[in-house]
Amino acid sequence: MRISTRTIPFLLFSLLLAHLGFAELKHGGVTGTVRTSEGKPAAYVSVSLVEANKGTVTAEDGSYQIRGVEEGTYTLRVSFVGLSPQEKHITVAGGQTTREDFTLNQSAAQLSEVVVTGSNGLTKPVSFGKADIRPLDLPQSVGVVNSTVIADQQVLRLGDALRNVSGVSLTQQRQGVAETFTSRGFSIGIGGSGGSIFKNGVISNTQGFPDASTLESVEVLKGSSALLYGNVSGGLVINMVTKKPKFEWGGEVTMRAGSYDLYKPTVDVYGPISKNLAFRVVGTYEKANSFRDVVNSERVYVNPSLLYKLGQKTEILVQTDYLKSDLVPDNGVGALNQNQDARILPNTPRSRFINAPWAYNTTEQLSGSVTVNHKLNDNWKINLIGASQKTEVDAYGLGVPNNIAANGDFARSLSAAKTSEQNYTAQVNLNGNFSTGFLHHQLLVGSDVVRIETESNTFKFENGKLGARYDTLNILNMEQYDSRTRTDIPARATVELTTSPSYRFGAYAQDLITLSDKFKVLAGLRWSYQNVYRTDIFNYDTQQERKGVNADKADRAFSPKAALIFQPVQNMSFYASYANNFTVNSGTDINNQQLDPSIVDQFEVGYKNQLLNGKLTTSLSVYRYINSNLAQQAQFRADGTSNMDPNVKELTGETTSDGFDIDINGHFSQNFYVMVGYGYNYHRYTNTSGLKGSQVEGERLINNPAHTANASAFYTFDKSILRGVKVGISAFYTGDRNGGLNNTVEQSPAYNRLIPLSGFTTIDLSAGYTYHKFSLLAKLSNITNELNYVVHDRYSINPIAPRQFMATVGYKF
């Protein structure tokens, strides 16, 4: 594989800057520990030398280190979002380390309550970043939705949480069992572990929806993260951080109820088993109907974990979870095969259901991981992760309509799935801090390996000469074929079992180099290798096994990243960066050779700022992506004749994605926080072959809203007769976008493939009351009863939920 030529000047510039012959200076350092009022470590507290424009955040054990400080007198400031800062005046001598410890006025419980509300990741390092880089030093746009926001908004699903991250939108809901998210014009795939959704840093299958009851936070890295994670979406990667054990007794019991017979009790208990061993168990049961006719669901989820402290330097975290989900799959409301203006069905009830009433989807998932964090010394630490996850799905019903006539008729066909996915992950990360002359380095070296094996079945159905056809339905007149509509469940039999193994490996290195008080450089490189092996197919009728048609496919790619960071003052940061990601291609070239991956170049500039002692944070990023070797149908074959085979391709197409996103987040006290975000994106085809069947140049890619926005504010009264009352409002906007499929050159105008969808806004109101350990929180969502749609898949759309009520009663102990 290649490194894009656009990379080379940027890398050379970074290396040149990193080795300029500045005069050697005499430097010292500052170290210490920050603890709470009861003597416990205070993690993620900001520590800065005001005059030197240097700073860091405390580690999990409350320790901090600031290196490369010129000798002199400074103001050492300790601050935390929502709290008043503390300051001490210190003197730093060249070649020596000055020690200063701090004790906060708050307890650990109070500190936990104010770890809140930013969605831009400027409060503490994201665990997803692997290197504990200070937020202002990270040249990448970050969104974080933490447990306070998850609780205040009564989040049920991952998609509910991600609405709070600027530029991120929910674009697809397939059969009510999986979600697809888009950012910067790029999507995260549905369901399996081939996507870009992680749990505690480990790739995760999200079939059946992750449960929000155990989430401590949701982290989003926007832009390319290929350096750290390989073949992932260029627009975003998502990490779900689950709740962890604590060495103090506590917990909470809640009961949530809402519209359409939603009931969801949850239990969360944690505490010490011994001096060095702590546990946590989160369990929930959920049962609900839906605003969609026939649709209902029942879920059981449990998440036990253990934390063992092996001495002062080593922690071992063991986490497992189990999910069982049973639901009626929802095929949306369909879309007509005719001109674009009529694709959305007229006068379609929001509740209309077009799958079979007996349809079902059962998902069972079991996962486990072991994480070892070991501190080698004050400057070096190592992180080891081993994990496994198994996901089994059994589903039967009717297929999504893909050919609905203009009069509303479509022939419904049987569709069944029985799949199993087993994945194994191993990961090692070594972090170190050291100096070479006047340069300070924050180094990350690591490697990861993932093996995924999927099993899928094909079926035959008891239905005689009709094959898989079930009946005919008219979605414009549901009464038309009532006499012909079937309600029986045809028998199914397994025909073949296909086993598909794949393997990924990556090795990477990244260095954040401090050049001076105001300039830093981040540079890194990853090498990725992945192999999709030839499938094994077992036929149950013949009891014979054969190999699949496609041979083994191996892909290799280099993923560089380079950034220049400028910090004029200690709470402000500007950056310019280059990175790329790669996408694996199917098909062959004109010489019948497998296609190389496409390299997508990303250029980004950004700004981050912390104001009012960290109470107000802002971030802005502007980006451009260019995929200059998009795979598209080849114009000619090797012999010079015209090529009519869409599987014979060449890497000559191009797409371009431009845009920006902005976040403004304020946590002005322990009682009041505000979150505002906006994102704009323009992702389109900028170079196509112009041949029949190729994309239309200038057309926006599907599932990409031009505009997204979010705003939330929550306030808790702490005085007068209103003490304990909480009020909140949240608004979310998704702009115009296209569903369906992108059009192609010389396509028949009678069969437009795009489904144009208009923009919409939903507004939620929340109100609650807390008295000692008891709490009540209620929410009225979509208060205007807005009717709009998200894409189901290429041929159908799903109505958004109407106005609904939800309330949660809780008791903390």
User: For residue 21, what pLDDT is reported?
Assistant: 37
Strand partners, 620: 607, 662
Residues 6+ apart with CB under 8 A from 343: 335, 336, 740, 752, 754, 755, 756
User: For residue 428, what pLDDT is reported?
Assistant: 96
User: For residue 19, what pLDDT is reported?
Assistant: 45
**In contact, 579 and 560? CB cutoff 8 Å:** yes
Asked if residue 773 has pLDDT above 60, the reply is: yes
What average pLDDT does the structure give for the chain? 86
Nearest to 403 by CA among 647, 798, 750: 750
All CATH 2.40.170.20 domain ranges in the chain, comma separated: 242-812
696: which 2 tokens? Answer: 């239309």
Asked if residue 20 has pLDDT above 70, the reply is: no
CA dist 134 and 77 (Å) reads: 16
Asked if residue 15 has pLDDT above 60, the reply is: no
Residue type, 489: I
pLDDT tens by residue, 258-274 = 999 999 999 999 999 99
Helix (H) or strand (E) holding 76: strand 72-79
**In contact, 433 and 441? CB cutoff 8 Å:** yes
Strand partners, 170: 181
- Which has more pLDDT, 175 or 607? 607
CA dist 628 and 732 (Å) reads: 34
Mean pLDDT, rounded, for 171-195: 74
Nearest to 242 by CA among 187, 287, 283, 190: 283
Strand partners, 768: 726, 777
Residue 288 banded pLDDT, cuts 50, 70, 90: very high
Stretch among 294-298, 526-530, 538-542, 581-585 having the lowest mean pLDDT: 581-585
* Cα–Cα–Cα angle for 170, 175, 181, rounded to 5 degrees: 20
Asked if residue 545 has pLDDT above 80, the reply is: yes
End-to-end CA distance of the chain: give it in Å, rounded: 56
Mean pLDDT, rounded, for 81-107: 82
pLDDT tens by residue, 373-415 = 999 988 899 999 999 999 999 999 998 877 788 788 888 889 9
- The share of the chain scoring above pLDDT 90, in percent, equals 50
User: For residue 751, what pLDDT is reported?
Assistant: 60
User: For residue 418, what pLDDT is reported?
Assistant: 94
Question: At the topology level of CATH, where does 1-111 sit?
Answer: Immunoglobulin-like (2.60.40)
Residue 48 banded pLDDT, cuts 50, 70, 90: confident
Report how far apart, in Å, the C-alpha atoms of 636 and of each of 596, 652, 692, 746 are: 19, 13, 13, 18
Mean pLDDT, rounded, for 191-212: 79
Q: Burial level of 89, CB count in 10 A (0-12/13-18/19+)?
A: exposed
User: For residue 118, what pLDDT is reported?
Assistant: 42
Whether domain 242-812 has CATH 2.40.170.20 = yes
Q: What is the DSSP string of 189-246?
A: PSSSTTSSEEETTEE---TT--BGGGEEEEEEEES--HHHHSS--SSEEEEEEEP---
Residue 594 banded pLDDT, cuts 50, 70, 90: confident
User: For residue 485, what pLDDT is reported?
Assistant: 66
Residue 739 banded pLDDT, cuts 50, 70, 90: confident
Pairing outcome for strands 519-532 and 469-474: unpaired
User: For residue 180, what pLDDT is reported?
Assistant: 82
pLDDT tens by residue, 451-469 = 999 999 999 887 644 457 8
CA dist 181 and 703 (Å) reads: 9
User: For residue 14, what pLDDT is reported?
Assistant: 47
Q: Burial level of 712, CB count in 10 A (0-12/13-18/19+)?
A: buried
CA dist 7 and 171 (Å) reads: 32
Residues 6+ apart with CB under 8 A from 804: 258, 259, 260, 291, 780, 781, 782
Asked if residue 121 has pLDDT above 60, the reply is: no
Residue 23 banded pLDDT, cuts 50, 70, 90: very low
Mean pLDDT, rounded, for 513-524: 93
Asked if residue 59 has pLDDT above 80, the reply is: no
Stretch among 209-218, 439-448, 501-510, 534-543 having the lowest mean pLDDT: 209-218
Residue 9 banded pLDDT, cuts 50, 70, 90: very low
Stretch among 11-15, 58-62, 128-132, 361-365 having the lowest mean pLDDT: 11-15
User: For residue 327, what pLDDT is reported?
Assistant: 93
Query: What does the DSSP 8-state code read for residue 176?
Result: T
**In contact, 291 and 260? CB cutoff 8 Å:** yes
Residue 806 Rama label (left phi>0; alpha psi -120 to 50; beta): beta
Q: Where are the beta strands (DSSP E) in 290-359?
A: 296-310, 314-327
pLDDT tens by residue, 503-512 = 999 999 999 9
Residue 94 banded pLDDT, cuts 50, 70, 90: confident
* Cα–Cα–Cα angle for 657, 660, 665, rounded to 5 degrees: 150
Residues 6+ apart with CB under 8 A from 160: 153, 212
Asked if residue 586 has pLDDT above 50, the reply is: yes
pLDDT tens by residue, 711-724 = 999 999 988 899 99
All CATH 2.60.40.1120 domain ranges in the chain, comma separated: 1-111
437: which 2 tokens? Answer: 């002359």
Asked if residue 16 has pLDDT above 50, the reply is: no
User: For residue 194, what pLDDT is reported?
Assistant: 57
**In contact, 88 and 67? CB cutoff 8 Å:** no
- Top mean pLDDT of 515-519, 563-567, 746-750 is at 563-567
Residue 255 banded pLDDT, cuts 50, 70, 90: very high
pLDDT tens by residue, 595-641 = 888 899 999 999 999 888 778 899 999 999 999 888 877 878 888 88
Question: Is this structure's pTM higher than 0.75?
Answer: yes
Residue 18 banded pLDDT, cuts 50, 70, 90: very low
pLDDT tens by residue, 129-164 = 888 888 889 999 999 998 899 999 999 988 899 999
